Structure 1
């Protein structure tokens, strides 16, 4: 029992360390252990184009600056709309996705949420919003072995993340839910349409993202 408690405490302790140290996520560690390549180039938030920050928030978590790491309203709405087979979509915030990407292995969704939600609340408590977004943008997967927005920007558009334009930023943002199947560098018509929507949303929602300007 003590061993289980200590194991559960590790992510909470690491979160304190990662407040100042660039983290390495569980998926990255798994690839390192398997001898597979990892492309991740840590980039400070101020060196990521504002339009890229806004596009990811507009696509992944429009209330990022307004909640405490978990969007209770969004979760309630998903539960209300779910059918007999359970929720048809998620309500993960950027803090929740950061917790999942950093610490958690593949688990059934409801089981994973038991760990993900308290970790997201803890991340929101001990990190500033800017740090949460900075870490997320540096550990999110954008392709096979491709982690972080700088590596993605260089891979797909041959330019640093600081120079992403609205269309490129939106394409990267809408690829996040399934980066293996959604290719930001060679987008399908559906992906281009989603990106166009995010360009519009990011342009008109910048005022809601004041916590990371």
Structure 2
């Protein structure tokens, strides 16, 4: 059997090919150390489209002939930027399968209050309002209002920190970049015979009528 001479060297072309194969098949981990994971694979999904969430309750209000839909959701997201992206994603998802003049998504922490009367003020980590015709909604001058508290939640689920409201340009940038547009998981959804879903909230609260809703549009301000 003949062996290659010790003076054998790979040609420049072959060396480039071999190097390319190694990079594509086995060097992604090492490359990530030097280049950065985000540069190779993109940012984590929750930094683009928000985090997973769970539906707490959905409330329908009849205000002067208008239908207002308010949805309470929970999330473990600790970062304010992720929370507002989650609320924006859910608002878009709800508006695609529910008819209403005004949509309001209120995001609570996983350790937040159970009773709906307590789901206001510092219990709100992020809030989004959306109206296709904002001029018809009192107090709304634009299709979207999106705001959140920058601080992380306390042990009881309350939020302390700076209140930030996004500009329309910031909202547009976030929504356009989203890759996932799913609604929250509803663990209490019941499939009815006709294929309709009935939302049942924690603590016995379900879908409510106007008489059940005492909050105003800007629930976080109360």
> TM exceeds 0.5?
no
Report which of the two structures shows the higher radius of gyration computed on alpha carbons: 2
TM-score (norm 1): 0.28
Greater relative CO, 1 or 2 (CA 8 Å, sep 6+): 1
